[in-house]
Chains A and B, each alone.
Chain A
């Protein structure tokens, strides 16, 4: 099955999150070339980062604060292999070092002027940040396709419990009822939900990003090459899941066969 064996063998359970580990911040597909975005991580101290992709495709992450006068770098723009701050145009390379100060164009900035950087790695369709440059742990492999990311006002621990009890659609046309899902693999950063009936089988890989206390970003991947209408169904499932997680305590959706409808 897609990557399932790889998953089991790749040390998925060995990841150690917290300030030493990897945190997923965006699906690769959602950070195009020259893309710039903000990522907040609730780590041992709250982090506010800018994540960006250069023209050549390289991803980098800095503290979201320009060393010049404190402007948020996530408002900046990418030119070539550099991120420019929107305020005075100071340019930074992928290593964080300042390369050009427009107000003093003839001066080469010293290497000591630069943005604070974080280890940033793109792996298996997800972009990850780590604060520990020395011994970053292995990342999980799924071989999936990015579906979407979703911000939920709920703690990660609650979300994991709710995901264990959810049902996910297996077809786009709604002909079959959503099937109960179970968690078939789980570690500190991610889990894999599988839903199986006689007719079909599906896996979702969900990566967790603690944004602030009580707010979690879910980055969701599916098996590759699913039909578009199923992808749309899954996207809607994600929204319903978010709604119930934010509004209904620990109650979960289930399919009421006799009534032919979704019931809380």
Chain B
């Protein structure tokens, strides 16, 4: 199929930087094309296409980002990643048999917390989703959801009871979703959890979770395993949703106010012409 320019000319995660071993190439597939990532003897990282040509490269947020096209923009900015005292956690890719756009949409959703992440991120009977604010910020061309609040059963290891937790969601690129969550050890600051998705095909992708947290107590393995557990719960949903592609026409669905971020995301994709991984006519 012809891949639209907007999909082709964008940045996608292809490797975790500090896992690349000198002289040992890794290969991944990005939208049907095989890319090889290699850390050379001089420590330079290069990404090459199947025909040997060099691909664009950015190293950020612990990941190697590349493209099968020619991105005209720099990779999005996450200022929190540069803040003192934060720890960065790379969780590694998880393969999902679903559209990359479905993966992003699921990451933006909170109404599923009591049912999919029961007693972790949500619990009955605290299922109500209050109205929140969603906008497409045209200056940066990103989708933002703010003033999102949801009841979390146990916000931190130290917390005994549940409490309302504040969230913000951000989509800086079609296959990237970033969640901001109030940080228990640092009230007023946000923990950042990113999901960077690499489309392998329209119905298959690798999702890399990444975090920038204020947390001095937990060990790295626990943090990674926790995030993995949450994501595997989501994967069971994602791989059993019909259709696999993300519908841009919601005729066969019933979005309600709780789905406002999802609808804004789909509108934004539609306006951009991002059709890779999308279903245009409802079935």
Contacts and interface: CB of A to CB of B under 8 A. Distances in A.
Find out whether A and B make contact in their complex, taking CB atoms under 8 A apart as touching.
yes
Interface of A: 65, 67-72, 75, 84-89, 101-105, 113
Contact of B127 (A65, A70, A75, A102): A102
Contacts of B111: 88, 102-103
Contacts of A71: 237, 240-242
A86 B247 CA distance: 20
B257 interface: yes
B123 to A, nearest CB: 11
A90 to B, nearest CB: 9
A104 B130 CA distance: 8
B253 interface: yes
B41 interface: no
Interface in B226-247: 236-237, 240-243, 247
Interface string B245-258: 00100001111111
Interface stretch (B58-66, B70-78, B112-120, B152-160): B112-120
A84 B114 CA distance: 13
A67 B256 CA distance: 12
Interface in B88-146: 111-112, 114-116, 124-125, 127-129
Given A69-B259, A84-B115, 11 more contacts: A65-B242, A68-B253, A70-B241, A70-B253, A71-B237, A75-B236, A75-B237, A88-B111, A102-B115, A103-B258, A104-B256
A72 B239 CA distance: 10
Given A70-B252, A75-B240, A86 B258 contact: no
Nearest to B127: A102
Contacts of B116: 86-87
A169 to B, nearest CB: 40
Contacts of B237: 71, 75, 86-87
A87 B258 contact: no
Interface of B: 111-112, 114-116, 124-125, 127-129, 236-237, 240-243, 247, 252-259, 262
Contacts of B255: 69
Contact of B241 (A69, A101, A102): A69
Contacts of B127: 89, 102-103, 105
B115 A88 contact: yes
Contacts of A105: 125, 127-128
Interface of A, helix, strand, loop or mixed by DSSP: loop
A72 B256 contact: no
Contacts of A103: 111, 127-129, 256-258
B161 to A, nearest CB: 21
8 contacts: A69-B259, A70-B247, A71-B241, A72-B241, A84-B115, A88-B258, A89-B127, A104-B256
B124 A102 contact: yes
B112 A72 contact: no
B240 A69 contact: no
B112 A88 contact: yes
B242 A113 contact: no
Given A87-B116, A103-B129, A70 B124 contact: no
Closest 8 CB pairs of A and B: A102-B127, A103-B258, A103-B129, A103-B111, A70-B242, A72-B240, A89-B115, A88-B111
A65 B282 CA distance: 14
Contacts of A101: 256
B107 to A, nearest CB: 14
B104 to A, nearest CB: 14
B230 to A, nearest CB: 15
A88 B240 CA distance: 14
B115 A104 contact: no
A152 B125 CA distance: 44
Nearest to A112: B254
A113 B237 CA distance: 22
Nearest to A86: B115
B117 to A, nearest CB: 12
A104 B258 contact: yes
A113 B254 contact: yes
A105 B247 CA distance: 26
B115 A87 contact: yes
Contacts of A75: 236-237, 240
Nearest to A75: B240
Contacts of B114: 89, 102
